[in-house]
Amino acid sequence: MLDLASLVGGVLTASLVVFRSPLPWDLPVGSPIGASTWPLLGYLVLGLIGGSYLSVRTWAGVPRPSYGRAVAISIATVAIASTATLIARSYYSIRFIGFTAVTMLVLSLAHRAVSRSRPWTEQVALITNEKEFADHLRMATHLHVIDVLDPQSEDRPQQLAEGVTVAVDLRAVLSEPMAQFVASSNVAGYGVRSLASVYEEHTGRFPVVHLDEGWELSTPVERAAQYIPLKRALDYLLVIVTSPLWLVLGALIWLAVRIDSRGPAIYKQVRAGRNGEPFTLYKFRTMVDGAEQNGAQFAVVGDERMTRVGRFLRKFRIDEIPQLWNVLKGDVSLVGPRPERPEFVDRFAETIPFYRYRTLVKPGVTGWAQVNYGYADDEADTVEKLTYDLYYVTRMSLWLDLQILGKSIWTVLSGFGAR
C-alpha cells in the first residue's frame, strides 16, 4: 500500500512538471486529439501489482523492507506499463513516465528507510538439542531467542507470549509433553515452523546436518531451471555493457603485475565447473611464478607466496577480472559458488557430506559465500562456506543475484567485506 501511495505521488509530481497541472488527466494544449492518460495510469497500477507479486514470489531471505525490492518493483512497474502502452498503442509520454518512475523510487526508498530504522525482531522459542544452531540464531540481527527447549523434556513448557514463533527441530524425537505443547501452540494460533527454515532465513546459511539424501537440493535447482536462460543472457549483457571499464582496468593491472614480479600476468588454472566438468580459469597472477610447484594448497593469511600487487588485487578482488572471459565463454556465471580445483573437490567430496551438490549450478565470479564469508583457508572453513553455497543453490533467483552483485561492487570500491 505504501508503494501504491509512492506511485500516486510520482504520478502527481510528473503531472505538475510535464502537464503543468496537478491532475494527471488534464493534458496540455497541443496533445493529440482524443488522447487520454487513463490507460497509461491503469497500466502503471497493473505494473506495480505485477512487480510486487514477482518480488514477493521470488525474494529470498527475511521479509524485511528492502531497498533492492524497491528498485526491482519500480523497474518492473515501468517495464510492464511501457510494454502494455506500446502494445495497445495508447497515449504515452516518456517525460511523464520518467518523472513518475524517479519520484516513485525516491518515495519507495524513503518509506523503507523509515521502516528499517525501527527496532525489528522476530521472537522465537527453539526446540532443539543443536547448541551450534542455537548459538548462530542468537547472533542473528533480527531474531530474539527467548528460550531453547529440550525436545526430550518431560516438563510441559509454560504458555508463550503472544507473537512468539515455535521453531521445531524436525530431526529430534519429541517427548509426549513436548509433542502436546507443539500441537497446542499450533492450534492456539502461534507460528510453528521448522528450525531449518528459520535458520536459513535469519543466517543466510543452509543447515547441512538436516539434509536427508540430497533431494532437498536438487529439487529447488530443477524448479529454478526456467531462470537459467535469463541468467545466462544477463551475464552476457552485463559483461558486454561494462567491457570498456574492465578492459581499461584490466590493461593497467596487467602492466602492474608484469612490472611487480617475473612471470606471466595472466594465471591459468583448471577448475571444476557445473557437475564437476573441468575448464580453464583465467585470473591475474597474485603469487610468485611457480607458487604451486609442490602441488595444490590453500592460500593463507600472510602467505609469503603473495606478491605486493597481488595483495592489493586480492583485497579488492580485482584479480578476478580475467574471469569475465570465462563468463563470455559460458564456463562460469557472474554469480554462483566459487569454482574449486578438481583435486580439492575430489578430496572434500570424500570428507564433507553433500559437498558435490554445490556443483548443481554453474560456478560464479562472485557468490553468496564470498560476500558473506570470504576465502577458505582449510577444510573447516570449507564446511562453513558450504552452508552459504548450498543456501544459494536452493534459493537461486534474479533478486538474490542482484543482492550479491551489489555487495560485490561495494567490496571492490571499499575493500571491506573481503578476506
Contact 275, 359 (CB under 8 A): yes
Query: In terms of domains, do 14 and 101 share one?
Result: yes
Query: In terms of domains, do 19 and 167 share one?
Result: no
**331 located within any domain:** yes
In terms of pTM, does the model score above 0.75?
no
Amino acid in the structure at residue 73: I
Query: In terms of domains, do 110 and 139 share one?
Result: no
Query: In terms of domains, do 234 and 368 share one?
Result: yes
Retrieve residue 382's grid coordinates.
Answer: 570449507
Contact 265, 284 (CB under 8 A): yes
Query: What angle, rounded to 10 degrees, do the helices at 398-414 and 67-88 form?
Result: 130
**302 located within any domain:** yes
Query: In terms of domains, do 236 and 265 share one?
Result: yes
Query: In terms of domains, do 155 and 239 share one?
Result: no
Query: In terms of domains, do 315 and 167 share one?
Result: no
Whole-number mean pLDDT of the chain? 85
Q: Which of 98, 117, 136 marks a domain boundary?
A: 117
Query: In terms of domains, do 190 and 253 share one?
Result: no
Please report where in the chains the cell 557445473 appears, as a residue.
274
∠ CA 237-238-240, nearest 5°, is 65
Q: Which of 117, 136, 158 marks a domain boundary?
A: 117
- Cβ neighbours of residue 125 closer than 8 Å, sequence gap 6 or more: 145, 146, 147, 148, 149, 157, 160, 164, 165, 166, 167
The number of folded domains in the chain is: 3
- For residue 58, pLDDT beyond 70: no
CA distances from 125 to 69, 137, 138, 176, 211 (A): 29, 11, 11, 18, 22
Count the alpha carbons within 13 Å of 169 in the hemisphere toward its beta carbon: 23
Retrieve residue 341's grid coordinates.
Answer: 580445483
Query: In terms of domains, do 106 and 156 share one?
Result: no
Neighbours of 172 (CB within 10 A): 16
**46 located within any domain:** yes
Contact 164, 203 (CB under 8 A): no
d(CA 257, CA 306): 12
- Cβ neighbours of residue 234 closer than 8 Å, sequence gap 6 or more: 334, 398, 401
**111 located within any domain:** yes
> Which pLDDT does position 338 carry in this prediction?
92
Q: Which of 117, 152, 177 marks a domain boundary?
A: 117
d(CA 244, CA 235): 16
Domain of 163, CATH number, reads 3.40.50
**293 located within any domain:** yes
Query: In terms of domains, do 113 and 185 share one?
Result: no
> Which pLDDT does position 331 carry in this prediction?
95
**208 located within any domain:** no
> Which pLDDT does position 293 carry in this prediction?
64
pLDDT band at 51 (very low <50, low <70, confident <90, very high): confident
Of the two residues 368 and 26, the one the predictor is more confident about is: 368
- Cβ neighbours of residue 307 closer than 8 Å, sequence gap 6 or more: 257, 260, 261, 285, 286, 287, 288
pLDDT for 259-273, tens place per residue?
988 889 999 999 999
CA distances from 329 to 281, 378, 397 (A): 11, 30, 22
Q: What is the domain extent for residue 147?
A: 122-203
- For residue 329, pLDDT beyond 90: yes
Query: In terms of domains, do 344 and 286 share one?
Result: yes
Of the two residues 379 and 389, the one the predictor is more confident about is: 389
Query: In terms of domains, do 28 and 90 share one?
Result: yes
pLDDT for 118-148, tens place per residue?
767 889 999 999 898 899 999 988 889 999 9
Retrieve residue 232's grid coordinates.
Answer: 545466462
Contact 362, 332 (CB under 8 A): yes
**400 located within any domain:** yes
**148 located within any domain:** yes
Mean pLDDT computed over 393-403? 86
Mean pLDDT computed over 45-74? 76
- For residue 214, pLDDT beyond 70: no
Contact 77, 48 (CB under 8 A): yes
> Which pLDDT does position 418 carry in this prediction?
47
**Closest by Cα among 206, 137, 201 to 373:** 206
CA distances from 167 to 134, 136, 151, 172 (A): 11, 14, 11, 12
> Which pLDDT does position 103 carry in this prediction?
92
